[in-house]
């Protein structure tokens, strides 16, 4: 599935950048700071050690997320309702505007391109919906009421109102 492949690629690239910083850049910074002498009042040393700790934590998060992504079962994604990878077209019942959202994992979400995370309020509200369903979405800007007009599933199945 393309969105999972994209997420894995982004995470692996970030992991490589972090690994390089931990193996090459930070050790140099730490050596320079150590050469300055007294560590008790050495801000450069403390900053480098803090950065090292932060990067190690992020590396652990990325490794866990990569493991989680490898366990996503694409066979379990529905073909009769909105699921991961589906493009869901809705009508805003207040304004009449028609909007299409693609349900994606958080790593590839991009609001400007209507790629909505299934963990975000709109994504959660649309997940597992069928054509004709009315959906109430609460977001910081207010609440919206949508009606699902069309769904194109990950596998290309098109579901439309009759």
Domain end, chosen from 12, 37, 72, is at: 72
Could you give the number of structural domains in the chain?
A: 2
How large a percentage of the chain has pLDDT more than 70? 100
Domain-terminating residue out of 11, 39, 72: 72
Q: Using one digit for the tens of pLDDT, what is the confidence trace for 86-102? A: 999 999 999 999 999 99
Residue 42: predicted pLDDT = 85
CATH number of the domain bearing residue 40:
1.10.287
Residue 148 burial (10 A CB sphere; 0-12, 13-18, 19+):
buried
- Could you say which of 41, 72, 103 is where a domain stops? 72
What's the pLDDT score for residue 161?
A: 80
Check whether residue 15 and residue 54 sit in a common domain: yes
| pLDDT digits 0-9 by tens, 122-146 | 999 999 999 999 999 998 889 999 9
pLDDT of 51 > 90? The answer is: yes
Structural domain boundaries enclosing 17: 2-72
């Amino acid at each position: 599935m393309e969105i999972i492949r994209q997420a894995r690629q982004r995470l692996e690239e970030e992991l490589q950048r972090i690994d390089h910083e931990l193996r090459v850049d930070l050790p140099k910074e730490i050596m320079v700071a150590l050469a300055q002498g007294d560590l008790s009042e050495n801000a450069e040393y403390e900053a480098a050690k803090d950065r090292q700790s932060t990067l190690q934590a992020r590396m652990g998060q990325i490794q866990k997320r990569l493991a989680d992504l490898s366990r996503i079962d694409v066979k379990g994604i529905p073909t009769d309702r909105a699921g991961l990878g589906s493009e869901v077209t809705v009508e805003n019942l207040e304004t009449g505007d028609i909007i299409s959202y693609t349900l994606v994992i958080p790593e590839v979400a991009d609001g400007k391109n209507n790629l909505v995370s299934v963990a975000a309020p709109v994504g959660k509200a649309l997940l597992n919906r069928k054509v004709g369903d009315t959906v109430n979405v609460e977001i910081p800007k207010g609440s919206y009421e949508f009606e699902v007009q069309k769904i194109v599933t990950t596998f290309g199945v098109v579901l439309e109102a009759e």
